[in-house]
Amino acid sequence: MSEAPDLSEAEAFAAEHALGVLNARERAEAEARMAREPAFAADVEAWRSRLTPMLDNIEPVPAPEGLWPRIERLLPANMGGGAAPANDNSASLMNKVRFWRNTAVGGFALAAASLAGVMVQVNQPPVVVEKQVPVAPQGQLLSASVVSQEGSRVQPLFTAAYDPDRKALIVTSLLPEGSDRDKVHELWLIAGQDNPKSLGLVESGKAKIIALPTELMAKMSEGAALAVSIEPPGGSKNPNGPSGPVIGVGKLSRL
Amino acid sequence: MAAAATTNDSLSPLMTRIANGEREALRQLYQATSAKLFGVCLRILSDREESEDVLQDVYVTIWRRADRFDGARASVMTWVSTIARNRAIDRLRARGPMAYAEPVDELEIPDGAESAEALLSAADDRSRLAGCMSELDDRTQSVIRTAFFEGVTYEALAKRMDAPLGTVKSWIRRGLAKLKGCLQS
């Protein structure tokens, strides 16, 4: 091959990013530049297209049977049939939940430590230790990890994320799918001295986006807590709160 | 290359449906592409369990970003393969510096049979790239392949090859410039 002209500095950098030889700092720089400079982003894309055919010689390997159901479970809830627009929005929320869910499981000790003040024993009524006057109640992203405790054993049960922009709470059950078939899990908001407010039922192993009315949004603040109780199908028969045992509680905190 | 891919891209209509939130469309894309992408993950990670995790992540990413797919810039297969490769490399990098301690070997890519879903244009691209790669000297070919399949940084490549950073950098930059020239001719 005869001598090829050198790539411009910008294109060389784009090519290096597409190839994958940049270190973490340079990669971050390249990503930032792609976001700012469409021409640079196009260079990176062009180089990806040039290099990706290297993957074409790789032998396909059938993915394991159970993988698709696992993926489907991770997709945003209630999005079937194109009924809801903008899956990017819902999906990025779900992604946040996945992050928290991983944190709840992986960074478990940390989550347990930060929630030590609000854990309750099975069958005991939930007690919210701290009571705070909400400041800018609708303005901040909040998350909670709902955990159970038996003796020293702390178990994350649910993660929840509140997004004020979406006026929604996204709840992910960390329990195995299909557990507790003849019972349901009901989610409660416990704020101040009010009776617990039902936020609806959550299926084991599923994620759910719960739209919040304004009155409940006003109560979503740091220091309020989420609790989960075990109820008969259809939910609690008690109008003022859970009728079954409360299995876990978690305080809402700012991210 | 991208333009040719668009006109032939039977998977392209699925992307619009996925962007509209149609799970069934994602399932169809999964059926058409998962074996290929699983192969890509396995090639990069050499670990089945990690590859399954990454593959799962790849399809959730596709679902989330489907609206950013631009058929004029890349074929669906290129787009999803890039996501799979990037995610697998992210995972490889997360294993830490030990992942880069291995010497450069096994650089040969096994020649797979034509996959059913491979597009005609993709086959053209592949043979053109393979042809152009073969015109590079062996060392340059091997560093480019290692970087591509393992996301190995310049620093790590230099260490592995026991060569100065600037030298490795110029091998790769010159190699890439030649590749581009060859692909355009």
| Per-residue pLDDT reduced to its tens digit, A122-139 | 444 444 444 344 444 446
> Which residues of chain B lie closer than 8 angstroms to A67, CB-CB?
34, 52, 55-56
Cβ contact A55–B128 (<8 Å): no
The DSSP bridge partners found for residue B11 are none
B63 → closest Cβ in A22, A52, A91: A91
Residues on chain B touching A88 (C-beta within 8 angstroms): 19, 64-65, 67
**Which residues of chain A does B60 touch, with a Cβ-Cβ cutoff of 8 Å?**
71, 74-75, 91, 95, 98
Mean pLDDT across the stretch A207-230? 84
Nearest chain B residue to A22 by CA: give it.
Answer: B153
**Whether A80 contacts chain B with CB within 8 A:** yes
A138-161: average pLDDT: 75
**Nearest CA-CA distance, residue A227 and chain B, Å:** 29
ipTM over 0.85: no
Contacts of A165 (CB under 8 A, 6+ apart): none
Instruction: Name the residue among B123, B127, B142, B129 with its Cα closest to residue B178.
Output: B129
Phi then psi for residue A52, to 5 deg, are: -60, -30
Average pLDDT of the residues in A240-254? 83
**Residue A238 and residue A102 in contact, taking contact as beta carbons nearer than 8 Å:** no
N-to-C CA span, chain B: 13
Cα B129 to Cα A50, B79, B179: the distances in Å are 7, 17, 8
Which tens digits make up the pLDDT trace of B38-74? 999 999 998 899 999 999 999 999 998 898 888 877 7
Q: What percent of chain B has pLDDT over 70?
A: 81
Which residue does chain A place closest to B136, by CA atoms? A1
Highest mean pLDDT: which range of A83-87, A115-119, A188-192, B21-25: B21-25
Return the number of CB contacts < 8 Å for A and B.
192
In this predicted structure, the answer to whether residue A212 has a pLDDT above a threshold of 80 is yes
The alpha carbon of residue B114 is apart from the nearest alpha carbon of chain A, in Å, by 8
- SS3 for A24? helix
Asked if pLDDT for residue B36 goes beyond 60, the answer is: yes
Shortest alpha-carbon distance between residue A5 and chain B (Å): 7
3-state SS track over A85-119 = CCHHHHHHHHHHHHHHHHHHHHCHHHHHHHCHHHC
pLDDT band for position A166 (cuts 50, 70, 90)? confident
pLDDT of residue B17: 93
**B172 pLDDT above the threshold of 60:** yes
Determine whether the interchain pair A45/B74 forms a contact, defined as Cβ–Cβ distance below 8 Å.
yes
Tell which wins on pLDDT, B159 or A166: B159
Q: How many CB atoms lie within 10 A of CB B166?
A: 10
End-to-end CA distance of chain A: 56
Contact B141, B113 (CB under 8 A): no
In three-state form (DSSP H/G/I as H, E/B as E, the rest C), the secondary structure along chain B is: CHHHHHHHCCCHHHHHHHHCCCHHHHHHHHHHHHHHHHHHHHHHHCCHHHHHHHHHHHHHHHHHHHHHCCCCCCCHHHHHHHHHHHHHHHHHHHCCHHHHCCCCCCCCCCCCCCCCCCCHHHHHHHHHHHHHHHCCCHHHHHHHHHHHHHCCCHHHHHHHHCCCHHHHHHHHHHHHHHHHHHHHC
* pLDDT score, position B80: 94
